[in-house]
Structure 1
Amino acid sequence: MNRKVLVTILSLYSLFINAQSDSTKSWLELEAVYSALPWFNAHGGLETGFVYMDNADVTAKINFDQLLNLKDNFSLFVYGLGNHGDRATDLMGDFQVASNIEAVKAWRVFELWIQNNFLDDRLSVLVGLYDLNSEFDVLRPGTLFINSSFGIGAEYAQSGLNGPSIFPISSLGIRMATFIGDRTRVRLAILDAVSGDPENLKSNEIHLSRKEGALISGEVSIYTDASFSENNLNIERSYVTRRRKVGREHEVYKNDKVNIGGWYYTSEFEAINDQSSSHGNYGVYIGAQKYMPIGEKGDFASLFGRYGVASSRFNRFGSALSGGVVVSNPITTMDDNFGLAFSSGINGAEFQEIQGSSETTETVIEFTYSLPLASWFLLQPDVQYVINPSTQQELMNPLSFAMLVQISFKY
Structure 2
Amino acid sequence: MNYLSFFSYLALSILSYFSVAQVEKDKKWLELEAVYSALPWYNASGGLETGFVYMDNADITAKINFDQVFKLKDNLSLFIYGLGNNGDRATDLMGDFQVASNIEAVKAWRLFEFWVQQNFIDDRISVLVGLYDLNSEFDVLRPGTLFINSSFGIGAEYAQSGQNGPSIFPISSFGVRLASFVGGRTRIRIAVLDAVPGDPARLESNEIELRSDEGALIAGELSIYIGAGFSEESQTIERSYVTRRRKVGREHEVYKNDKINIGGWYYTSEFEQINGQDPASGNFGIYLGSQKYFPIGENEDFIALFARYGIANNKFNRFGSALSGGLLVSNPITSIDDNFGLAFSLGFNGSAFQEIQNSNETTETVIEFTYSLPLASWLLLQPDVQYVINPSTRLELNNALSFALLAQLSFSY
Question: Which TM-score applies when normalising by structure 2?
Answer: 0.95
Q: Deviations over 1:35-83 (max 9, x none)?
A: 0000000000000000000000000000000011112110000000000
Flag the structure with larger Rg: 1
Match in the other structure for 2:209: 207
Runs of 4+ in 1 over 6 A off after TM superposition: 12-15
- Tell me which residue corresponds to 1:244: 246
Alignment of 1:323 onto 2:325? yes
In structure 1, distance between residues paired with 2:274 and 2:247: 36
Which of 280, 283, 296 aligns to 2:282? It is 280
Aligned to 1:198: 200
2:22: which partner in 1?
A: 18
- Secondary structure of the corresponding residue to residue 243 of structure 1: helix
Distance 1:364 1:266, change over 3 A: same
Query: Residue 243 and residue 15 in structure 1: after superposition, are their counterparts in 2 closer, same or farther (change >3 A)?
Result: closer
How many residue pairs were aligned?
398
How far does the alpha carbon of each residue in 1:279-333 deviate from its partner, in whole angstroms, 9 at most, with x for none? 0000000000000001111100000000000000000000000000000000011
Q: Amino acid of the residue matched to residue 39 of structure 1?
A: W
The alpha carbon displacement at 1:23 in A equals 1.5
Letter in 2 for 1:18: Q
AA paired with 2:48? L
Q: What per-residue deviation string (whole Å, max 9, x for no partner) do you get for residues 236-267 of structure 1?
A: 10111221122723212100000000000000
Q: For residues 247 and 318 of structure 2, what CA distance do their matches in structure 1 show? A: 29
Query: Offset at 1:274?
Result: 2.2
Tell me if structure 2 keeps the 8 A contact 1:73–1:121: yes
Conservation of the 8 A alpha-carbon contact between 1:247 and 1:370 = no
Name the amino acid aligned to 1:132: L
CA RMSD of aligned residues (A): 1.3
User: 1:23 & 1:365 partners in 2: Cα distance?
Assistant: 44
Q: Name the residue aligned to 2:10.
A: none
Q: Alpha-carbon deviations, 1:114-135, whole Å to 9, x = none?
A: 0000000000000000000000
82, 103, 106: which is aligned to 1:104?
A: 106
Alignment correspondent of 1:349: 351
The amino acid that maps onto 1:130 is Y
Shift of 1:275: 3.5
Select 1:333's aligned residue among 328, 332, 335: 335
Instruction: Judge conservation of contact 2:229–2:258 (CA < 8 Å) in 1.
Output: no
Distance 1:236 1:171 in 2: 20
The one of 257, 262, 269 aligned to 1:255? 257
Q: What is aligned with 1:217?
A: 219
> 2:17 and 2:309 mapped to 1: Cα distance?
52
**Which residue of 2 is the match for residue 6 of structure 1?**
none
- Of the structure 1 ranges 205-214 and 307-316, higher mean CA displacement relative to structure 2 is found in 205-214
Secondary structure at the counterpart of residue 244 of structure 2: coil
Farther-moved stretch of structure 1 (232-241 vs 154-163): 232-241
The structure-2 alpha-carbon separation of the partners of 1:301 and 1:64, relative to structure 1 and needing over 3 Å to count, comes to: same
Flag the 1:240–1:14 CA change in 2: closer, same or farther, 3 A: closer
Distance in structure 2 (CA, Å) of the matches to 1:15 and 1:95 = 47
- What residue in structure 2 maps to residue 403 of structure 1? 405
Q: Which residue in the other structure is 1:43 paired with?
A: 45
Deviation (angstroms), 1:221: 0.1
Distance 1:15 1:112 in 2: 20
Aligned residue number for residue 122 of structure 2:
120
Cα displacement (A) at 1:363 = 0.4
Residues 229 and 256, structure 2, Cα contact 8 Å, conserved in 1: no
Per mean C-alpha deviation after superposition, the further-off stretch among 227-236 and 126-135 is 227-236
Partner residue in 2 for 1:304: 306
Q: For residue 93 of structure 2, what is the amino acid of its counterpart?
A: L
**Aligned residues of 1:309 and 1:319 also touching (Cα < 8 A):** yes
1:163-202 matches, within 5 Å, as 163-202=165-204
SS in 1 for 2:22: helix
Output one character per residue of 1:214-233: Cα deviation in whole Å (capped at 9) or x when no partner: 00000000000223253221
TM-score (norm 1): 0.95
Amino acid at match of 2:226: T
Contact 1:15–1:68 (CA<8 Å) still a contact in 2? no
Partner of 2:389: 387
Equivalent position SS for 1:313: coil
What is the SS of the residue equivalent to 1:277? coil
User: Contact 2:231 / 2:257 at 8 angstroms: preserved in 1?
Assistant: no
**Is the contact between residue 18 and residue 69 of structure 2 (CA under 8 Å) also seen in structure 1?**
no
**DSSP-derived class of the 2:135 partner:** helix
CA contact (8 A) 1:221 1:258 kept: yes
SS class of match (1:270): coil
Percent identical pairs in the alignment equals 77
In 1, Cα distance between equivalents of 2:203 and 2:264? 26
Deviations 1:102-148 (A, max 9, x none): 00000000000000000000000000000000000000000000000
Q: Aligned equivalents of 1:129 and 1:337: distance in 2?
A: 32
